[in-house]
């Protein structure tokens, strides 16, 4: 996924030098378009002409997607003006069956304004940097997200000690009043049974990692509120969230439940879509307002960079979809400056209503007019 634009060593990408937050310009959009200037127009093949006509006429920033195949990476599809993710953000409302779809759609309406009504937003960070898995720079992620949420409204609780990263402890915490749940770590993949894929935690008895899988989320976790869930992990056939340095032990080498890639009958995109849909669907089943996660493997530095931008725009008053759109553009723009591009940062998926906000839209207009102007420019209003 990493591609070089110069002779810079592609392995030297862990440190992140972020530009000042006040210097974001519309030039970021142009930089992203330059990266995809030779992209083929696949959108005209995938989407019918009437859909393309409507999109061109109303120019929406967010799209609510109902699809017969939840595994298609629509965000990565290119049109004549570049990839979909540089113009729209897609909120996936299709579940694995009709019941799932009705739940996701209903929750999208029921909880759309619930978070705005809260005086304080209880935010639970679960940073699962586990001893037996590849090391991630989760302290850096915590630091940057805290900077993004430098606002007294956010009350952050941290789970990062190994002895606290257990299923029992996390289930207990989620049973309280949690408005935002952020998990950072490795995904756990079960190709044959996607409902047994999940997020990695720690087992005190065996002193090894374990998985809180989709079935356990659905039937054991009882949410005390309707949180916005960000699973900053991925569920791919090889490495999950990975460092760019060489010589580290890979999750695929120690996960006995993952089949050899050569024995797979489905594509990585199909399998990854099944895993993350299972986890997301389970959180939505038990009452989460919306879920966001990357479907494929992604470099640690890319995951941190995206999370930093996303939370920054979220607290400004952007919807989760608007924040995702700007974060993808800004992340690729920053990588452009650093001469190393990880295109997978563009494929973060939102399950649920992309219009969900933590603040009224008025806050964005009054306090962050530059961000509001960027969104209007993306919509070609000005």
Tens digits of per-residue pLDDT, 226-240? 999 999 987 644 445
Q: Which two tokens stand for residue 365?
A: 């207009």
φ and ψ of 224, to 5 deg: -90, -10
Average pLDDT rounded to a whole number, residues 374-378:
88
Q: Looking at the predicted structure, is the pLDDT value of residue 104 above 90?
A: no
Does residue 51 lie within any of the structural domains?
yes
Q: How many domains does the chain have?
A: 1
Average pLDDT rounded to a whole number, residues 51-55:
86
Task: Quote the pLDDT of residue 31.
Answer: 60
Which range among 97-101, 243-247, 328-332 has the greatest average pLDDT? 328-332
Strand-pair partners of 154: 121
Of 58, 54, 103, the C-alpha closest to 351 is 103
Task: Quote the pLDDT of residue 17.
Answer: 45
- Mean pLDDT check: name the lowest of 13-22, 317-326, 336-345: 13-22
CATH number at residue 85: 3.40.50.1460
Q: Looking at the predicted structure, is the pLDDT value of residue 304 above 50?
A: yes
Does residue 5 lie within any of the structural domains?
no
Q: Work out the pLDDT band at 163, boundaries 50, 70, 90.
A: very high
Report how far residue 301's alpha carbon sits from residue 61's, in angstroms, rounded to the nearest whole number: 27
Of 345, 149, 297, the C-alpha closest to 228 is 149
Does residue 14 lie within any of the structural domains?
no
Q: Looking at the predicted structure, is the pLDDT value of residue 107 above 50?
A: yes
Q: CA torsion angle for 99, 105, 107, 110 (degrees, to 10)?
A: -130
Q: Which two tokens stand for residue 220?
A: 């054991």
Task: Quote the pLDDT of residue 34.
Answer: 62
Q: Work out the pLDDT band at 139, boundaries 50, 70, 90.
A: very high
Does residue 250 lie within any of the structural domains?
yes
The distance of Cα 22 from the centroid of its chain, to the nearest Å, equals 24
Task: Quote the pLDDT of residue 161.
Answer: 94
* Count of beta carbons in the 10 Å neighbourhood of residue 166: 18
Report how far residue 115's alpha carbon sits from residue 118's, in angstroms, rounded to the nearest whole number: 6
Which range among 96-110, 125-139, 226-240, 334-348 has the greatest average pLDDT? 125-139
Q: Directed axis angle between helix 300-316 and helix 320-338, to 10°?
A: 140
User: Rg of the chain over CA atoms, in angstroms?
Assistant: 20
Does residue 316 lie within any of the structural domains?
yes
* Residues with Cβ within 8 Å of residue 140, at least 6 apart in sequence: 16, 304
Q: Directed axis angle between helix 320-338 and helix 369-378, to 10°?
A: 90
Does residue 24 lie within any of the structural domains?
no
Q: Which two tokens stand for residue 200?
A: 């990695």
Average pLDDT rounded to a whole number, residues 213-235:
92
Q: Which residue is associated with the tokens 């592609």? A: 10
Q: Looking at the predicted structure, is the pLDDT value of residue 7 above 80?
A: no
Does residue 157 lie within any of the structural domains?
yes
Report how far residue 316's alpha carbon sits from residue 36's, in angstroms, rounded to the nearest whole number: 29
Does residue 280 lie within any of the structural domains?
yes
Q: Looking at the predicted structure, is the pLDDT value of residue 343 above 60?
A: yes
Average pLDDT rounded to a whole number, residues 300-329:
94
For residue 244, the enclosing domain spans 30-378
Average pLDDT rounded to a whole number, residues 198-202:
92
Q: Is the dihedral of CA 97, 111, 153, 165 positive or negative?
A: negative
φ and ψ of 40, to 5 deg: -80, 155
């Amino acid at each position: 996924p990493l591609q070089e634009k110069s002779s810079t060593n592609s392995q030297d990408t862990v440190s992140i030098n972020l530009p000042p937050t006040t210097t974001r310009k519309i030039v970021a959009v142009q930089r992203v378009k330059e990266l995809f200037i030779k992209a083929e127009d696949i959108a005209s093949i995938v989407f019918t002409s009437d859909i393309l006509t409507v999109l061109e006429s109303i120019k929406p920033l967010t799209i609510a997607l109902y699809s017969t195949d939840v595994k298609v990476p629509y965000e990565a599809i290119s049109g004549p003006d570049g990839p979909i993710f540089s113009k729209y953000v897609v909120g996936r409302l299709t579940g694995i069956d009709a019941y799932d779809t009705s739940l996701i759609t209903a929750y999208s309406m029921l909880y759309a304004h619930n978070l705005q009504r809260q005086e304080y937003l209880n935010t639970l960070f679960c940073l699962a940097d586990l001893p037996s898995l590849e090391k991630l720079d989760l302290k850096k992620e915590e630091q940057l997200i805290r900077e993004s949420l430098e606002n007294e409204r956010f009350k952050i609780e941290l789970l990062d000690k190994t002895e606290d990263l257990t299923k029992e402890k996390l289930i207990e915490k989620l049973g309280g009043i949690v408005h935002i749940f952020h998990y950072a770590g490795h995904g756990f993949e079960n190709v044959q049974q996607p409902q047994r894929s999940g997020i990695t935690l720690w087992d005190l008895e065996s002193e090894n990692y374990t998985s809180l899988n989709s079935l356990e989320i659905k039937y054991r976790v009882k949410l005390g509120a309707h949180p916005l869930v960000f699973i900053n992990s991925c569920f791919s056939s090889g490495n999950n969230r990975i460092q760019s340095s060489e010589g580290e032990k890979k999750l695929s080498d120690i996960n006995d439940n993952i089949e050899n890639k050569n024995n797979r009958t489905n594509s990585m995109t199909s399998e990854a879509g099944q895993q993350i849909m299972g986890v997301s669907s389970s959180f939505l089943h038990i009452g989460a307002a919306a879920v966001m996660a990357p479907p494929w493997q992604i470099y640690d530095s890319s995951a941190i960079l995206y999370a930093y931008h996303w939370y920054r725009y979220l607290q400004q008053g952007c919807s989760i979809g608007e924040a995702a759109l700007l974060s993808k553009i800004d992340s690729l723009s920053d990588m452009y400056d650093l001469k190393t591009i990880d295109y997978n940062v563009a494929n973060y998926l939102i399950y649920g209503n992309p219009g969900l906000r933590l603040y009224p839209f008025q806050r964005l207009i009054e306090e962050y007019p530059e961000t509001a102007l960027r969104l209007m420019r993306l919509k070609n209003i000005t």
